[in-house]
């Protein structure tokens, strides 16, 4: 390993041609050459170094084991020879540490790469004690890897994820983890960093709700102005909407738990690859992220909502008569069959819009759920159901079967009317030109239909909750309901529908009361043994 310390400067001199005149380049300007270490101003007249001109550099040559070429590690800008020499010795010690590795040549090149990176960034050199311990343990030496870089690399390598899961992880990494934690070095990420980030994400929920509410108000103003033919106000409202952030879902406790779980999974794999020794995400305690339980829109709750405008809970479920009222209103909608399919059979929104004709058997009244459409970054993408259990076959109820037959006729007519402009996506539910529906649009139409029917508000997904509620209260076994919904296990169904289970207990109590009340008649009173005698 060859080393040297030298002094150089940034001075340059004109290049003189044979005629004694400066040579000129294609642009007409005189050519110059760097004087570097040959600058006459680097030394005084007596031969001593000039402390006011130039800076000190060092160079260490490293042999590349593949090409057998010497590649220098060079760095400068030091104000004294001693400072350059000290750094040079530190570089030499780090390179010498490679001899303790099983593959010394490879380790030396890796250490040399780390040294070059640190010097280029003007960062401290790797800690030699840490380098020795990593070499001894066989751990990677890439200690300057950031959390953001690792998360991107980790997700790209996760080939076993479902498309929908991959999309979800990508959104969590891009929208939360990289902005909040991506700048930290992976090996220096601490529980406190994660805890602060999760708290900040949770605190942003209120700001997002306020922004969403403001956008709703401007949107309502725009629609009202349009109805009243007030073009000036409508134009101003549309301009305001462009300046506002898009609608976003406020992160609740469950969202924060999901964000932490993605980080924890990525850091667990980093531990397996010995990039870090402990997983700091496992040491962070967060508020419970259990999914909110659904409440039924009882008459009292409806009255309170009409008086205050406030929903009793995030997840609300219509009663059977309320759902029937919605279906009567939806019967006039072009996509009536889609809403019936969700209401009767509990399909997820993406499963309904992603349904293909090849998976629908009207002759045998069955539907097989194998796909779903998801909206990601403004694009509609196709993917598998949420879980393995999401792939399921359902028996169609007669009203749904008839609605689907009617829809088949409607779509065939639209296909004929469009002719060559029809896009054959093989999907059951499409736009009038055959292209895929946007899942968000289905939800918007649902909300409009619910308002037109004067019903208390629920989300489209809560229509699926209603399916489970009505089946359970009608006596259908929870295992069967779980299979219809496509839950991965029975515990999820039981946990989501605790309120419904409590209602079933009340039904059981009423049933046992009726049984005993029917038997406790006046003519049955008295001593049964005496009557028998």
Share of the chain above pLDDT 90, in %: 45
Q: What is the pLDDT of residue 528?
A: 45
For every residue of 48-78, which 3-state class applies, written as one string? CECCCCCEEEEEEEEECCCCCCEEEEEEEEE
Please tell me whether residues 95 and 221 are part of one structural domain: no
pLDDT in tens, 104-153: 888 888 899 889 988 988 888 988 988 888 888 777 776 678 999 999 99
- CA-CA distance, 467 to 461, in Å (whole number)? 10
Please tell me whether residues 262 and 322 are part of one structural domain: no
pLDDT in tens, 370-389: 988 887 656 777 777 776 77
pLDDT at residue 529 greater than cutoff 50: no
Closest CA to 92 of 4, 186, 195, 196: 4
- C-beta of residue 484 within 8 angstroms of C-beta of residue 346: yes
pLDDT at residue 525 greater than cutoff 60: no
Please tell me whether residues 391 and 277 are part of one structural domain: no
- For 127-142, letters b (16+ CB in 10 Å) and e give eeeebeebbeeebebb
Q: What is the pLDDT of residue 491?
A: 66
User: Mean pLDDT over residues 272-283, rounded?
Assistant: 86
Note whether residue 210 is domain-resident. Answer: yes
Note whether residue 520 is domain-resident. Answer: no
Please tell me whether residues 228 and 123 are part of one structural domain: no
Q: What is the pLDDT of residue 106?
A: 82
Q: Which residue has the tokens 């000036």?
A: 232
Q: Which residues contact 270 (CB under 8 A, 6 or more apart)?
A: 150, 154, 186, 276, 279
User: Mean pLDDT over residues 401-405, rounded?
Assistant: 96
Note whether residue 532 is domain-resident. Answer: no
Q: Which residue has the tokens 């539907």?
A: 367
Please tell me whether residues 57 and 132 are part of one structural domain: yes
Q: What is the pLDDT of residue 160?
A: 81
pLDDT in tens, 493-509: 666 665 555 555 666 66
User: Mean pLDDT over residues 5-21, rounded?
Assistant: 90
Residue 495: which CATH number?
A: 1.10.443.10
- Residue 480: left if φ>0, alpha if ψ -120 to 50, beta else—which one? alpha
- CA-CA distance, 166 to 159, in Å (whole number)? 9
Note whether residue 419 is domain-resident. Answer: yes
Please tell me whether residues 60 and 185 are part of one structural domain: no
Degrees, nearest 5: CA angle 489-201-442: 55
Note the Cα 484 to chain centre separation in Å. 27
pLDDT at residue 468 greater than cutoff 80: yes
Note whether residue 470 is domain-resident. Answer: yes
Q: What is the pLDDT of residue 271?
A: 87
Listed in order, strand segments (DSSP E) in 266-404 are 295-296, 316-317, 360-361, 366-369, 372-376, 379-383, 392-395
Domain containing 485 equals 295-514
Note whether residue 461 is domain-resident. Answer: yes
Q: Do strands 366-369 and 392-395 pair parallel, antiparallel, or not at all (unpaired)?
A: antiparallel
Final residue in a domain of this structure, among 112, 137, 162:
137
Q: What is the pLDDT of residue 382?
A: 78
User: Mean pLDDT over residues 522-530, rounded?
Assistant: 49
Final residue in a domain of this structure, among 258, 283, 308:
283
**Domains of the chain: total:** 3
Predicted TM-score (pTM) of this structure: 0.60
Please tell me whether residues 328 and 454 are part of one structural domain: yes
- CA-CA distance, 253 to 202, in Å (whole number)? 7
- C-beta of residue 366 within 8 angstroms of C-beta of residue 394: yes
Q: What is the pLDDT of residue 466?
A: 86
Burial class (CB in 10 A: 0-12, 13-18, 19+), 29: exposed
Please tell me whether residues 53 and 158 are part of one structural domain: no
Of 193 and 487, which is predicted with more confidence? 193
> What's the longest Cα–Cα distance across the chain?
147
- Across the chain, mean pLDDT equals 86
* 16-30, 57-71, 141-155, 273-287: least confident range: 57-71
Q: Which residue has the tokens 């409440």?
A: 295
Share of the chain above pLDDT 70, in %: 89
Q: What is the pLDDT of residue 496?
A: 67
pLDDT in tens, 220-249: 888 888 888 898 998 898 888 888 877 777
Please tell me whether residues 218 and 161 are part of one structural domain: yes
- CA-CA distance, 476 to 257, in Å (whole number)? 32
- C-beta of residue 260 within 8 angstroms of C-beta of residue 198: yes
- For 325-348, letters b (16+ CB in 10 Å) and e give bbbebbeeeebbbbbbbbbbbbbb
Instruction: Among 89-93, 96-100, 497-501, name the most confident range.
Output: 89-93
- CA-CA distance, 421 to 144, in Å (whole number)? 55
Please tell me whether residues 358 and 256 are part of one structural domain: no
- C-beta of residue 169 within 8 angstroms of C-beta of residue 262: yes
pLDDT in tens, 412-456: 999 999 999 999 999 999 999 999 999 989 999 999 999 999 999
Q: What is the pLDDT of residue 255?
A: 87
Note whether residue 530 is domain-resident. Answer: no
Radius of gyration of the chain (CA): 36
Residue 178: which CATH number?
A: 1.10.150.130
Degrees, nearest 5: CA angle 8-11-14: 135
Please tell me whether residues 133 and 205 are part of one structural domain: no
411 token code pair: 């779509």
Please tell me whether residues 89 and 123 are part of one structural domain: yes
- C-beta of residue 362 within 8 angstroms of C-beta of residue 401: yes
- CA-CA distance, 419 to 141, in Å (whole number)? 63
Final residue in a domain of this structure, among 137, 161, 178:
137
Strand partners, 367: 360, 394
Note whether residue 525 is domain-resident. Answer: no
Of 28 and 261, which is predicted with more confidence? 261
């Amino acid at each position: 390993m060859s080393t040297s310390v030298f002094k150089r400067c940034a001075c340059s001199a004109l290049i003189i041609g044979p005629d004694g005149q400066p040579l000129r380049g294609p642009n007409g300007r005189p050519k110059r050459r760097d004087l570097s270490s040959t600058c006459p101003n680097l030394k005084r007249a007596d031969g001593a170094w000039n402390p006011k001109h130039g800076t000190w550099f060092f160079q260490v040559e490293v042999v590349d084991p593949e090409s057998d070429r010497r590649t220098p590690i060079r760095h400068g800008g030091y104000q004294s020879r001693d400072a350059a020499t000290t750094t040079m010795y530190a570089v030499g010690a780090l390179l010498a540490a490679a001899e303790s590795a099983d593959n010394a040549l490879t380790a030396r090149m890796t250490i040399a790469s780390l040294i070059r990176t640190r010097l280029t960034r003007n960062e401290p050199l790797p800690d030699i004690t840490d380098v020795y311990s990593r070499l001894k343990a066989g751990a990677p030496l890439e200690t300057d890897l950031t959390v953001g870089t690792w998360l991107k690399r980790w997700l790209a390598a996760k080939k076993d994820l479902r498309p929908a899961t991959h999309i979800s992880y990508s959104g969590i990494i891009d929208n939360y983890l990289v902005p909040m934690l991506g700048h930290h070095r992976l090996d220096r990420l601490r529980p406190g960093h994660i805890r602060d980030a999760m708290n900040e994400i949770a605190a942003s929920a209120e700001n997002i709700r306020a922004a969403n509410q403001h956008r709703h108000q401007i949107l309502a103003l725009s629609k009202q102005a349009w109805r009243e033919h007030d073009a000036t106000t409508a134009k101003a409202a549309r301009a305001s909407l462009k300046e506002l952030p898009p609608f976003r879902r406020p992160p609740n406790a469950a969202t924060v738990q999901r964000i932490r779980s993605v980080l924890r999974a990525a850091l667990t794999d980093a531990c397996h690859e010995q990039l870090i020794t402990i997983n700091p995400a496992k040491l962070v305690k967060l508020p419970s992220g259990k999914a909110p339980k659904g409440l039924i829109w009882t008459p009292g709750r409806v009255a309170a909502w009409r008086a205050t405008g406030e929903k009793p809970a995030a997840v609300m479920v219509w009663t059977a008569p309320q759902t029937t009222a919605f279906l009567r209103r939806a019967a006039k909608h072009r996509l009536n069959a889609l809403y019936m399919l969700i209401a009767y059979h509990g399909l997820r929104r993406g499963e309904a819009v992603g349904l293909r004709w090849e998976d629908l058997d009207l002759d045998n009244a069955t539907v097989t759920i194998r796909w779903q459409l998801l909206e990601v970054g403004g694009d509609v993408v196709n993917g598998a159901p949420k879980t393995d259990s999401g792939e399921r076959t359902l028996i169609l109820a007669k009203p749904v079967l008839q609605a689907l037959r009617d829809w088949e006729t409607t779509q065939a007519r639209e296909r004929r009317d469009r002719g060559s402009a029809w896009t054959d996506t093989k999907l059951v539910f499409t736009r009038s030109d055959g292209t895929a529906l946007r899942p968000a649009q289905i939800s918007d139409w649902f909300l409009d239909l619910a308002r037109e029917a004067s019903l208390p508000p629920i989300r489209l997904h809560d229509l699926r909750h209603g399916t489970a509620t009505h089946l359970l209260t009608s006596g259908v076994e929870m295992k069967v309901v779980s299979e219809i919904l496509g839950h991965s296990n029975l515990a999820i169904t039981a946990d989501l529908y605790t309120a419904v289970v409590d209602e079933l207990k009340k039904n059981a109590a009423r049933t046992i009361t009726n049984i005993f009340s029917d038997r406790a008649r006046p003519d049955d009173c008295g001593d049964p043994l005496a009557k028998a005698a």
